[in-house]
């Protein structure tokens, strides 16, 4: 599931501003129009991957 699918599935109804894409590519900090911040973190056994296997489809600082 990608970020867009999560937003649609949970009916979040906003296009977040991507504040920070972490170097490991497994965590993204987003901010909604109403200033609510969300940290999307993919964990459980991904630390040792060092970012391998993850492709970032968003740009830090963009909406």
> Does 17 qualify as catalytic in the annotation?
no
| Complete edge-to-edge strand list for the sheet that includes strand 37-41 | 17-21, 27-31, 37-41
Cβ neighbours, 10 Å, residue 29: 17
Catalytic residue among 15, 17, 41, 57: 41
What is the distance between the alpha carbons of residues 40 and 26, in angstroms, rounded to a whole number?
8
State the catalytic residues: 41
């Amino acid at each position: 599931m990608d970020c867009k699918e999560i937003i649609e599935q949970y009916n979040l109804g906003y296009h977040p501003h991507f504040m920070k894409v972490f170097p490991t590519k497994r965590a993204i900090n987003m901010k909604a129009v109403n200033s609510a911040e969300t940290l999307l973190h993919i964990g459980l056994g991904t630390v040792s991957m060092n970012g391998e296997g993850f492709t970032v489809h968003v740009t830090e600082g963009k909406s």
